[in-house]
Structure 1
Amino acid sequence: MFLGDENWAIRGLARFRTDGYDADDSSDLDGMSDRRNSLDLGAELWIENSWGNFGLDWVVDALGQHDGYEAGLSYVIPFRGAFGMKKLGLRPMLGFNWRSENLNNYYYGVRTKEATAIRTPYKSGSSVNPYAGVTLDYQLAERWSIFSLFTNEWLGTEITDSPIVDQDSKISVILGLLYRF
């Protein structure tokens, strides 16, 4: 945390971006250049109050892969003691991410030299991607917890219109161990 108190915080963010792919992984991508994963760095403003938590974040490409950025807004309702278990936390969430043109174009665009008879060139613009999810956590000890995060992100039309995209949403599942300082 850079600064804040028990009701708000400004903190640094580091996110591993896993939208990359190896063109050899699918015959549908024959002739495409590989797209590399990246590391995004940024900051988040987090506000907690009695009717929920709000987050506003901004990250940029730290490794120069996509040269783009992403901003997000989230709303989380925390429940401690879910299902009558004091150590269990449940946090449903809603939000959206705004992705820049550079970010989308790197991962979902099709360059002229990558085009084929069935894969037309495509230049993506920026997009707004809404999402919904839930986090479950269980407190193992005072500072240790295990957690799971499930999200479904609905991809904006600037992504789904790409000839290399055949889905309109992306499901993510994360399991982890957390130590609180």
Structure 2
Amino acid sequence: MPSSYPPIPIAHVSTVRVAAAVLLAVGLGAPAAAMAQALADTEPSTTWALGLGVMSAQEPYAGVGRDNTALPLLQFENQYVNLFGPRIEFKLPRLDIGHSQQLNFGIVGQYDGSGYEEGDAPILNAMENRRGGFWAGGAVQWSSSFVDLSAEWLADVSGNSNGQIASLGLERTWRFGNHVLFNPHVGASWQDEKTVDYYFGVRESEARLDRPAYVGEAGVNIEAGVRGVYMFDRHHSVLVGGGVTSLADEIKNSPLVDRSTVNSVYLGYMYRF
């Protein structure tokens, strides 16, 4: 699968380091792989990369500040699989449409550390812990010389939320010389009622005066951002990016949430063997 992925939904942005790793994997790993391929001018066979990333992400929950995280990065890719951090994709046969278009298919899985513990903020006191888990599903991408359109469906196979997520992403990549890759992107992520209710709902047993009971419903988050890569040579590259997500009304209306948008910025270094 080439470098386009749907955005990570905001229910999966948490203070847990694994969630940050997912964001770095999707936001930074794909452009780096695309640049490596562009410089090599050949289809990559097997590639390894190691690096370090730092990320600052805003939380949607009231009273929870920004999460600033540093973490190691690992990437492995060949013609059958692409592994980056806690996310893995098994590539399926692609369909070529002419000389400049193709459809790419994959089976994806990722561990996600979303959720919270009751001590994370006063608004979460006496709430039962909400946990992340393992999500799996399928992805498809229509790639052309002008724009890439991607879609992904994931289900919580760990059984914590029992939810589902469907995402659409649109992006275009510009290459400037042999060193710079610039990639603006927009996307939408639909989360079903089980996902929203699990992470942002308030059960009757958890309700109090400043935190009334709330049943979450399905909603759509809208996201926009940019990614960039500067590759010094075939081995060393610097990765940078950021994005803003407008939360669905069904999330904003939760008594646990005190903002309508969240944002994140990240920076990374990769060494490709």
5 Å matches for 1:21-170?
A: 21-81=116-176, 85-139=177-231, 141-142=233-234, 145-170=237-262
Q: CA offsets, 1:146-179, max 9 Å, x none?
A: 4334221111010000000011112133445668
TM-score normalised to structure 1 length: 0.87
Instruction: Kindly report structure 1 stretches of 4+ aligned residues shifted beyond 4 Å.
Output: 140-146, 174-180
Alignment pair present for 1:171 and 2:263: yes
CA–CA separation in structure 2 for the residues paired with 1:176 and 1:67: 33
Instruction: Supply the AA of the counterpart residue of 2:154.
Output: V
SS in 2 for 1:153: strand
Give the corresponding residue for 2:93: 3
Q: Which moved more, 1:16-25 or 1:157-166?
A: 16-25
CA–CA separation in structure 2 for the residues paired with 1:179 and 1:45: 28
CA–CA separation in structure 2 for the residues paired with 1:145 and 1:4: 28
Give the corresponding residue for 2:20: none
Q: Which moved more, 1:108-117 or 1:57-66?
A: 57-66
CA–CA separation in structure 1 for the residues paired with 2:173 and 2:196: 32
Alignment pair present for 1:12 and 2:104: no
Q: CA deviation at 1:55?
A: 0.3
Q: CA deviation at 1:11?
A: 1.6
**Structure with higher RCO (Cα < 8 A, 6+ apart):** 2
Q: CA deviation at 1:140?
A: 5.2
Q: CA deviation at 1:39?
A: 2.5
Q: What is the aligned length?
A: 178
Contact 2:238 2:269 in 1 (8 A): yes
CA–CA separation in structure 2 for the residues paired with 1:30 and 1:121: 14
SS in 2 for 1:2: strand
Identity %: 28
Q: CA deviation at 1:24?
A: 0.8
Q: CA deviation at 1:70?
A: 0.5
With over 3 angstroms needed to count, the CA separation of the structure-2 counterparts of 1:8 and 1:17, relative to structure 1, is same
Contact 2:179 2:233 in 1 (8 A): no
With over 3 angstroms needed to count, the CA separation of the structure-2 counterparts of 1:19 and 1:110, relative to structure 1, is same
CA–CA separation in structure 2 for the residues paired with 1:30 and 1:103: 21
Instruction: Supply the AA of the counterpart residue of 2:192.
Output: S
Instruction: Supply the AA of the counterpart residue of 1:2.
Output: L
Q: CA offsets, 1:119-164, max 9 Å, x none?
A: 1000010001111011112335547754334221111010000000
Instruction: Supply the AA of the counterpart residue of 2:200.
Output: Y
With over 3 angstroms needed to count, the CA separation of the structure-2 counterparts of 1:177 and 1:66, relative to structure 1, is farther
Unaligned runs of 5+ in 1: none
Instruction: Give the aligned CA root-mean-square deviation in angstroms.
Output: 2.3
